[in-house]
Amino acid sequence: MSLRITVLGTGYLGVTHAACMAELGYDVLGMDIDADKVASLTDGNVPFYEPDLEPLLRKHVEAGRLRFTTSYEEIAAFGDVHFLCVGTPQKFNEYAADMRYVDGVIDGLAPHLSRPTLVVGKSTVPVGTAARLADRLAELAPAGSGAELAWNPEFLREGFAVEDTLRPDRLVIGVRSSGAEETLREVYAQAVAAGTPFIVTDFATAELVKASANAFLATKISFINAMAELCEASGADVTQLADAIGHDSRIGRKFLNAGLGFGGGCLPKDIRAFMARAGELGVDQALSFLREIDAINLRRRAHVANLARDACGGSFLGKRVAVLGASFKPNSDDVRDSPALAVAGQIQLQGATVTVYDPRSNENARAVFPTLGYADSAQKACADADLVLHLTEWQEFRDIDPTVLADVVAERSIIDARNALDPVAWRAAGWTYRSLGRP
Ligand code: UDX
């Protein structure tokens, strides 16, 4: 009989994982403590924007293969493999990760586990967490050491979540027994058969793979943004520089787009939690460079706000600024730690009248920054603007005809903080076009 799968936590990771497990042919039961979320998912609604996810969810909810509940008891009775997918946000006022949701799931689920079962952690956690949770699980579960733990970090990117889950570029599993490894080989049989690298490690290595992958990606972005600072100081072009160094296959061109830097619900908080954990382990020096990575990244936001003030003649007072983009990256409605919103907020606080337009995230942005103005199209946001800021590189913005937008603004002045628009076309349409790290 096919394994029955549960997914604990129905945030970004959990909903995606649940729908994709159903797509792989498993019967899946998802769980969340939030009854409204469970009701909405049961109706086939995904509470955030992720391409391809809602049709997948609907398909499997309608087929009866994917259900949701608020009951740990039901989860324990149903599942052979339980995936732990809750969030690990940054603690208030601290760098460290807040483990209350992860701990809450183990404490809620374990007392109901009376037969042998595998709990698989997918959340991004400080190294050492899996070992701690394995002990707790065995202590609280009636099945004792029959309730086993494995760690299987998730690498999905927002905007490509379904694709990354169905066809991951690698599977990493931290296990303590060959039985746990066999179970996970069975769960991921299709990907394994397709040749996906399947890397079996101990708990600590699996946890560190995730933390170090995110630290590396953040480092790559901040590296190129540091080069952008040098390009700005010397008149060089960071895009050409990135293309040229990217041809070296040891470096690679991906994640070398200079601009406003990284944001979102993962990279910023994950590098901070990583530093905090290194400190606890007495090796804070090993990761002190991540402080600089964080600082370079945050400097981009201040830099764009300064460039914008210069473009407005030295003061924002009485100036209208249009902001194109509010999500932390395109094809997402996620505004968590969004560089675009951070800039919009900063310049408004400095006296500008700011109107934001994002194809998907206006409502989420309004919830975080209710004092900014919001428009329902780029054209409307730019009406009578003294300055346009391009802060999230949606395709819709790349497709804007600069000659058409020229007719609605007060001043043809744009800062392309994602280096994604065509400078030649914008300048030809009479715009003063500025970008980051390019002359
Ligand atoms: C990231 C990791 O990619 C993923 O593997 C991990 O599981 C979770 O964190 P995500 O947060 O979805 O995924 O976003 P990602 O595509 O990595 O982009 C992060 C940020 O970096 C965005 O704000 C993006 O705009 C920025 N970025 C990315 C750049 O500024 N330049 C680049 O070249 C690439």
pLDDT of 194: 96
pLDDT in tens, 110-122: 999 999 999 999 9
Whether 320 and 234 map to the same domain: the answer is no
pLDDT at 427 over 80: yes
Phi-psi region of 259 (alpha: psi -120 to 50; beta: other; left: phi over 0): left
Angle 79-80-83 from CA coordinates, rounded to 5°: 75
Measure CA of the first residue to CA of the last residue in the chain; give whole Å: 63
Phi/psi at 67 (5° precision) = -130, 170
pLDDT in tens, 195-247: 999 999 999 999 999 999 999 999 999 999 999 999 999 999 999 999 999 99
Whether 338 and 249 map to the same domain: the answer is no
pLDDT of 137: 97
pTM as predicted: 0.96
Read off the CATH number of the domain in which 168 is found.
Answer: 3.40.50.720
Ligand 1, residues at Cβ distance < 6 Å? 155-158, 214, 217, 221, 255-257, 259, 261-264, 266-267, 328-329
pLDDT at 24 over 80: yes
Work out the average pLDDT over 385-394.
98
pLDDT of 342: 98
Whether 10 and 136 map to the same domain: the answer is yes
The residue whose C-alpha atom lies closest to atom 27 belonging to ligand 1 is 262
The rounded distance, in Å, linking the Cα atoms of 341 and 374 is 12
Read off the CATH number of the domain in which 286 is found.
Answer: 1.10.1040.10
Whether 158 and 176 map to the same domain: the answer is yes
pLDDT at 193 over 80: yes
Whether 16 and 152 map to the same domain: the answer is yes
The rounded distance, in Å, linking the Cα atoms of 167 and 89 is 26
Task: For a ligand 1 pocket test, name from 257, 262, 303 the mutation site with the most ligand atoms within 8 angstroms of its C-beta.
Answer: 262
Whether 164 and 245 map to the same domain: the answer is no
How many C-beta atoms lie closer than 10 Å to residue 249's C-beta?
7
Q: For 7-11, 47-51, 132-136, 187-191, which range has the lowest pLDDT when averaged over its residues?
A: 47-51
pLDDT of 1: 67
The residue whose C-alpha atom lies closest to atom 17 belonging to ligand 1 is 157
Whether 28 and 155 map to the same domain: the answer is yes
Whether 262 and 162 map to the same domain: the answer is no
Whether 287 and 169 map to the same domain: the answer is no
Q: Are 164 and 156 in contact (CB under 8 A)?
A: yes
- Percent of the chain exceeding pLDDT 90 equals 99
The residue whose C-alpha atom lies closest to atom 25 belonging to ligand 1 is 329
Q: Regarding beta strands 81-84 and 4-8, do their DSSP bridges make them parallel or antiparallel, or are they unpaired?
A: parallel
Ligand 1 nearest atom to the CA of residue 328, by list position: 23
User: Residue ranges of the alpha helices (H) in 383-422?
Assistant: 395-398, 402-406
The size of the chain, in residues, is 439
The residue whose C-alpha atom lies closest to atom 6 belonging to ligand 1 is 155
Instruction: Count the domains in the chain.
Output: 3
Task: For a ligand 1 pocket test, name from 124, 162, 171, 221 the mutation site with the most ligand atoms within 8 angstroms of its C-beta.
Answer: 221
Confidence of residue 376 (pLDDT cuts 50, 70, 90): very high
3 state SS of 415: strand
pLDDT of 34: 96
Whether 239 and 367 map to the same domain: the answer is no
pLDDT in tens, 243-300: 999 999 999 999 999 999 999 999 999 999 999 999 999 999 999 999 999 999 999 9
Of 152, 180, 201, the position where a domain reaches its end is 201
CA dihedral (423, 261, 404, 426) in degrees, to 10, reads -10
The rounded distance, in Å, linking the Cα atoms of 237 and 293 is 21
Work out the average pLDDT over 308-332.
97
* Residue range of the domain that includes 67: 4-201
Q: Are 32 and 75 in contact (CB under 8 A)?
A: no
pLDDT of 186: 97
pLDDT in tens, 142-182: 999 999 999 999 999 999 999 999 999 999 999 999 999 99
pLDDT in tens, 32-41: 999 999 999 9
Task: For a ligand 1 pocket test, name from 88, 124, 266 the mutation site with the most ligand atoms within 8 angstroms of its C-beta.
Answer: 266
| Sign of the Cα pseudo-torsion (296, 299, 301, 304, in order) | negative
266 assigned to active site: yes
Of 295, 310, 336, the position where a domain reaches its end is 295
Whether 192 and 132 map to the same domain: the answer is yes
Whether 313 and 289 map to the same domain: the answer is no
Of 139, 169, 201, the position where a domain reaches its end is 201
Distances (CA, A) of 151 to 100, 119, 148, 436: 18, 8, 10, 40
Catalytically annotated residue among 20, 85, 231, 266: 266
User: Residue ranges of the alpha helices (H) in 81-159?
Assistant: 100-109, 129-140
Ligand 1 nearest atom to the CA of residue 270, by list position: 9
The residue whose C-alpha atom lies closest to atom 30 belonging to ligand 1 is 261
